Amino acid sequence: MKRRVVVTGVGTINSLGHNNKETFEAIKNGVCGIDRITAFDTTDFKVKLAAEVKNFDPNEYLDKKVASKTDRFIQLALIAGREAYNDANLDEVDKTRMGVNVSSGIGGIDTIETNHSKGLKKGMERVSPFFVPNAIVNMAAGQLAIATGAKGMCTCVVTACAGATNAIGDGFRVIRDGYEDVMLVGGAEACITPLGVGGFSALKALSTSEDPKRASIPFDKERNGFVIGEGSGILVLEEYEHAKKRGAKIYAEVIGYGTSCDAHHITAPLEDGSGGQKAIENALNDAGIQPGDVDYINTHGTSTYLNDKIETKAIANVFGKDVVISSTKGNHGHCLGATGAIEAIISIDAMNENIVPPTINYQVVDEECYLDVCPNTPRQKDINIILSNSLGFGGHNATVVFKKVK
């Protein structure tokens, strides 16, 4: 018998705020967390904007020894993970039945760049002994397990920008099938570095706008690329009876998860939207619901020409044109391997407050993006079921469905 799975804790740090409360207040108030890059000198870069975590000193959140020996993406995961852990009040749970799955698309790229430069100057055997543990993508999960004492499964999904949604879905299945009772799931990313920005810029994936309010503009006809963001989102998933028994607060129930692969191109999605459509259909079937049961869709909505046009097709192929969608990447940028978790947390908050988060800074209608994108202003709506999409380079598609617990 499949077990029910609920969300009992959330935590996030991103360009909008250092916790969940700050983040959702910013969403409701239409705050744009995008600004000029401060992490490095952009004089010779076409790309000038990013969604950086602001006013961030890891020593204020972490033990100084941990802060000094960890890459930024690990620090962000530990901060969001600790918020989620404390929110769910997990101190007394059986840690042998608690696991971790934290995604990252890039991992410790700042560590790689810094140590490569040092190695070129002083010799490669003079790099930091912490180089490898900080560079490898699984270490956010490993460090979070150490910090929380989680002794169940500990893993890391690496599926580019679909990663955090895959982590949520995979954690959901692990609990539903009885392997664990609690999972800390999500993603972390920190690649606003010269090589990170340069690489995406060379791919012509990033917006070159210098106006923060016209850079990340999902579904707008003038969109010209995504704005890279950083941050982390971690959710605590828990078996329903386990959560009830200990009197845990319940944010939402996870009721469905679907995946698919375009098997088409390393960066471009299938033109007809059938890849993303399949993930959506798989999630709906897994949840045992019909398209008409979904009240709101949080889209991947990257502000790239192809993604927004093709995701519109994928959604319309399943739901028709009478569905409310939005993208919050105009607020927090595209956080790559963390984005699905940050957006899932925002979506759950929206569901519980019956608010559709707006697609901010939307101005010019695109006839190829013809769905209701809830432009610029939050909308009151009774939301009982939400669906969140994430799509990644390599053709990865992931969809997760949440339901309000009344």
C-alpha 278/C-alpha 45 separation (Å) is: 38
Q: Does the structure show a pLDDT above 80 at 142? A: yes
Tokens standing for residue 20: 């969940």
As a whole number of Å, the end-to-end CA separation of the chain is 23
C-alpha 241/C-alpha 244 separation (Å) is: 5
Which of the following is catalytic: 161, 335, 369, 374?
A: 161
With CA atoms as reference, report the closest residue to 252 among 5, 3, 1: 5
In tens, the pLDDT along 180-221 reads: 999 999 999 999 999 999 999 999 999 999 999 999 999 999
Which of the following is catalytic: 18, 242, 332, 334?
A: 334
Q: Is 334 a catalytic residue?
A: yes
Percent of the chain's residues with pLDDT above 70: 100
Tokens standing for residue 168: 């949520």
Tokens standing for residue 55: 């006013």
Query: CA quadruple 202, 208, 210, 211: dihedral positive or negative?
Result: negative
- What residues make up the domain containing 398? 1-406
CATH no. for residue 277?
A: 3.40.47.10
Q: Which whole number is the average pLDDT over 89-111?
A: 98
Q: Is 156 a catalytic residue?
A: no
Q: How far is CA 376 from CA 27, 122, 196, 209, in A?
A: 11, 52, 30, 19
Q: How far is CA 18 from CA 15, 33, 79, 141, 337, in A?
A: 8, 12, 9, 20, 18
Residue-level pLDDT at 340: 98
Q: Which whole number is the average pLDDT over 39-46?
A: 98
With CA atoms as reference, report the closest residue to 137 among 228, 74, 199, 62: 74
C-alpha 340/C-alpha 299 separation (Å) is: 10
User: Which residue's structure tokens are 């993406």?
Assistant: 73
C-alpha 64/C-alpha 336 separation (Å) is: 27
Percent of the chain's residues with pLDDT above 90: 100
In tens, the pLDDT along 300-348 reads: 999 999 999 999 999 999 999 999 999 999 999 999 999 999 999 999 9
Q: Is 264 a catalytic residue?
A: no
Q: Does the structure show a pLDDT above 80 at 1? A: no
Residue-level pLDDT at 147: 98
Residue-level pLDDT at 406: 82
Q: Does the structure show a pLDDT above 80 at 37? A: yes
- How many domains does the chain contain in total? 1
Which of the following is catalytic: 154, 156, 191, 300?
A: 300
Q: Does the structure show a pLDDT above 90 at 64? A: yes
Chain mean pLDDT for the chain: 98
